[in-house]
Structure 1
Amino acid sequence: MPEQANNFPPLPKFLKVKPCFYQNISEEIPAQHQQLVRRIFILWMIYSVTLCLNVIGCIALWAAGGSGTNFGLALLWLILFGPASYACWFRPIYKAFRADSSFNFMAFFFIFFLQLVIAIIQCLGLLNWGVCGWFITITVFHYNIAAGSVMLLTTLLFTLVTVLMALVLIKVHRLYRGSGGSVTRAREEWGDGTWKNAAARGGFNTVDQNAQGPSLPEYPASVPSYVDNRGW
């Protein structure tokens, strides 16, 4: 199979900057886990949209007499957390399900937990942190209802994102532990270097080949079945 060209993020062809990642959930992710990976990807998109709306909310805060520092920090959070959240926690979980990589599962758990902590802080909305959360939105409502209303939308989205992140963390952890994954397994991958080359690993639990979708040569021919009888 020829090497796939990177397709994410989708950029106009006239730009000299090219996509950095190849992403194809329907081909690379086993069928039984595609829905979960798509939901995590949608969660990343919602978070990115929330960061964009947070900039607008901080502009409203600035217009209502707040500090311009909030607007500057909001831009910084958008520039940093938008791309970084994709690269630092979505890509690890994508690669973890794609190739049964315990190392990538552990990377996801560690980074995504930190992301959840950040989301909680953003949801709270501390003063001069560049976010429209509950504390600062309620304060603005006392003297400017219009600005508070604009900020409220971002606050509600931050709340939604925080709840969804907590649910995703719990769901993925249950699946991973149900498959027999552990820190020891991740250390073994790190020690022998197989986390870099998924095809070199063995000992996977086989599943129905029809449920896996097309297999790629750089990934294992079979992946474990993560069992979770509880609903989403």
Structure 2
Amino acid sequence: MSKYTSFSEPMEDQNPFQDPAVTQHSSNAGYATLDLYNPFDNTTGPPPPYDATSPTAPPVPAQTPPSRTTPTEPRNYGSYNSQPVVNATTAELLKKQEELEKKAQELERRERELESHGLGPGASRQNNWPPLPSFCPVGPCFYQDINVEISQRFQRTVTIMYYFWMFGTCTLLLNLISSLAVFCVDTTGSGVGLGLAILWGILFTPCSFVCWYRPMYKAFRSDSSFNFFAFFFVFFAQVVVYIIMTIGIPGWGFSGWIVSLAAMKLSVAVGAIMMMNAILFTAQAAMGVIMLKKVHGLYRQTDASFQKAQAEFATGVMSNQAVRQATVSAAQGAFTAPR
């Protein structure tokens, strides 16, 4: 019994890997390891022998990096049919932006010019027209500065109209001279013409400036519809008067074509002076028609309208202190009147 229950004394330096069951499976045995054995291969033969050298990995082919689109490259996000619509919208936005930039530049220019003239935000402008000398007892009546008060797109038209008014004044002055020359030759039948020529020169010079030039100036300065309509009404009548001046009806005080041809029989020199005046009247009438159409074309480009003119007229009448006082007095009289 002791034979089966006795155990050998354990050795102090015993190596568990020296066991015969382990050492018989040495590395020289032809068994494959898990590194080379593939159980899914359809092979009937024995597994391949173990190779101590690790297999080299197959070379990886060089891969070109994927191409990336830069931010500047166009991308197609939709159909090409929407491209014309996008281009039209972009063009319209660019046009509006350009107009806004022009208006901003114009406002900035006018502000700089006002500052250069020493006009603060609440400062009042001094009248500078007509440019009378300092010793004159009568001072200027209006303030006028086309480069400051008028928008740049309308400055040329306003300047031409100002010189046209000066041209009309000079024509009336020459009409006075030619009427005086006829009076010196024929004192019996040309006295009325000379008197009317003096009257037309005194009357038309200031009235034309106040009645049609100033409304036109204020219309372009503040885009006033009422002033536009006032200018069209008065200037149309002025053009009709220019045509009558060109005709030269005898006894009306105008050195037109009829009076000039009749004066040629009295004196060639006087007839030549009056003929020159008739030519100037003709040019004045033709230029008046052209400028009337020019101003009307610019008027259609603005926001002026007949409804705005009515509103401006009503506002201007009610803001007038004299009109308001007269209205209040009339209302009080109506209520206090005996019944």
TM-score by length of 2: 0.56
Higher RCO (C-alpha 8 Å, min separation 6): 1
Does the C-alpha gap of structure 1 residues 195 and 152 become closer, same or farther in structure 2, counting only changes over 3 Å?
farther
Question: Does 2:206 align with 1:74?
Answer: no
Given candidates 36, 45, 58, the residue that maps to 2:179 is 58
Show the counterpart of 1:93.
216
Instruction: Name the aligned partner's letter for residue 135 of structure 1.
Output: I
Q: How do 1:220-231 residues align onto structure 2 when only pairs under 5 Å count?
A: none
CA distance in 2, matches of 1:64, 1:158: 22
Give yes or no for contact 1:103–1:195 (8 Å, CA) kept in 2.
no
135-144 or 184-193, which moves further after superposition? 184-193
State the 1:170 CA deviation. Answer: 0.5
Show the counterpart of 1:48.
169
Give yes or no for contact 2:223–2:302 (8 Å, CA) kept in 1.
no
CA distance in 2, matches of 1:50, 1:195: 40
CA distance in 2, matches of 1:58, 1:186: 42
CA distance in 2, matches of 1:195, 1:120: 38
State the 1:180 CA deviation. Answer: 4.5
CA distance in 1, matches of 2:319, 2:175: 37
Post-superposition CA distance 1:97-131 (Å, at most 9, x none): 00000000000000000111111111111001111
Show the counterpart of 1:18.
139
Greater CA radius of gyration, 1 or 2? 2
After superposing on structure 2, the runs of 4+ consecutive aligned residues of structure 1 that deviate more than 4 Å are: 194-197
182-191 or 104-113, which moves further after superposition? 182-191
CA distance in 2, matches of 1:115, 1:26: 27
Give yes or no for contact 1:54–1:131 (8 Å, CA) kept in 2.
yes
Structure 1 regions of 5+ residues with no counterpart?
A: 198-232
Q: Percent identity among equivalent residues?
A: 44
104-113 or 57-66, which moves further after superposition? 57-66
Question: Does 2:131 align with 1:7?
Answer: no
Local SS of the residue matching 1:31: coil
Local SS of the residue matching 2:153: helix
Show the counterpart of 1:37.
158
Instruction: Name the aligned partner's letter for residue 141 of structure 1.
Output: M
95-104 or 55-64, which moves further after superposition? 55-64
Show the counterpart of 2:274.
151
62-71 or 37-46, which moves further after superposition? 62-71
Give yes or no for contact 1:189–1:195 (8 Å, CA) kept in 2.
no
TM-score by length of 1: 0.81
Instruction: Name the aligned partner's letter for residue 260 of structure 2.
Output: T
CA distance in 2, matches of 1:103, 1:195: 15
Show the counterpart of 1:120.
243
CA distance in 2, matches of 1:174, 1:74: 34
Show the counterpart of 2:149.
28
State the 1:154 CA deviation. Answer: 1.2
Aligned residue pairs, count: 197
Post-superposition CA distance 1:122-164 (Å, at most 9, x none): 1111001111001110111133211101111211111111111
